[in-house]
Amino acid sequence: MRPWIAVAAVLAMGAAAAWRADAQSGGISAGPAGIATPELITHFLPGEGQPTQLTVIDPGRRVLAVYHIARDTGVVELKSVRAFQWDLQLDEHNGTKPLPKEIRNQLQRTSPQ
């Protein structure tokens, strides 16, 4: 097994264990049987000649974290953590045209009333 895969697996298991401890202490709302309902979501994105990117999302807390895992050494580096609950309340945020509002206005002008 490659070292970075083992490190990623340990990281994912550690995050899951930490999440379970938080769920049992009442940090996350529990379902009817007392079992925490939200789960961590993970996504690996391998890159040619670049570190593997691991994204961990906690839907219950609406937080995501991004890690880079060096392919040759297995070193795990935290790159970013962000609470995205407020991001999801934006109507639009786009740096390039056409902006979502411009597309919506164009579609409204061309659609039959």
Q: How far is CA 86 from CA 3, 39, 61, in A?
A: 37, 20, 12
Q: Do residues 79 and 69 make contact, with C-beta atoms less than 8 angstroms apart?
A: no
Position 92 scores a pLDDT of 76
Question: Which runs of E-coded beta strand occur in 20-96?
Answer: 41-47, 50-58, 63-69, 76-83
Predicted TM-score (pTM) of the model is 0.55
Q: How many separate domains does the chain show?
A: 1
pLDDT in tens, 29-48: 433 333 334 689 999 999 88
Residue 19 main-chain phi, psi, to 5 deg = -65, -45
Here the tokens at position 27 are: 């940090």
Position 12 scores a pLDDT of 53
- Counts of helices then strands in the chain (DSSP H, E): 2, 4
**Mean pLDDT across the stretch 73-96?**
89
pLDDT in tens, 3-33: 555 555 545 555 444 444 444 434 444 333 3
Q: Could you give the 3-state DSSP secondary structure of residue 104?
A: helix
- Give 9-23 as a DSSP string: HHHHHHHHHHHHHHH
Which range marks the domain in which residue 65 is found? 3-110
Distance (Å, whole) CA 103 – CA 11: 42
